Amino acid sequence: MAGRFIDKLKKAARLDPAKKEIQLASGDTVVMWVTPLTASERERAKKDARSDDPNAFALQLLVRKAKDEKGVPLFTQGDVGDLKHSIRDADLQSLMLAVLGGEEEEEALDMKSSDDGAE
């Protein structure tokens, strides 16, 4: 007997954290770990953003989802002001895009780079 469809979807979701390396404008590289976005996380970030501004939404996702290699959050809600006022916008945008970018994109890039060097 086949399992329930929802169980198959949950098993296939692969919500494991992916390592994201972001190069800052200074040339330094920072590392964070991010899990793929779920609908519940999207709803919570929209609510916490208290705005229709996509940057406010992305900033909330960054605060909620960026973790270190042990799964410890890198930011708290109290860091939002510092992120907005004390970090270069280009660096903040790079961090937010890394959180918004899916694991599939990273895998696709890895596959392309391995194909190029396969000869």
Give the mean pLDDT of the chain: 86
**How many domains is the chain partitioned into structurally?**
1
* Burial tier of 98 (Cβ tally within 10 Å: 0-12, 13-18, 19+): buried
Does the residue 111 lie in any domain?
Answer: yes
pLDDT in tens, 91-106: 999 999 999 985 444 4
pLDDT reading at 1 higher than 60: no
**Domain annotation covers residue 6:** no
Q: Which residue has the higher pLDDT, 106 or 34?
A: 34
pLDDT of residue 42: 92
**Confidence bin at 6 (pLDDT 50/70/90):** very high
Note whether residue 86 is domain-resident: yes
Residue 29 has pLDDT above 70, yes or no: yes
Query: pTM of the prediction?
Result: 0.77
Pairing of strands 29-34, 18-23: antiparallel
Residue 20 has pLDDT above 80, yes or no: yes
Other beta carbons less than 10 A from residue 97's beta carbon: 13
pLDDT at 115 over 70: no
Question: Do the Cβ atoms of 76 and 63 come closer than 8 Å?
Answer: yes
- Residue-number span of the structural domain to which 26 is assigned: 16-116
Whether 51 is in a domain gets the answer: yes
37 occurs within a structural domain? yes
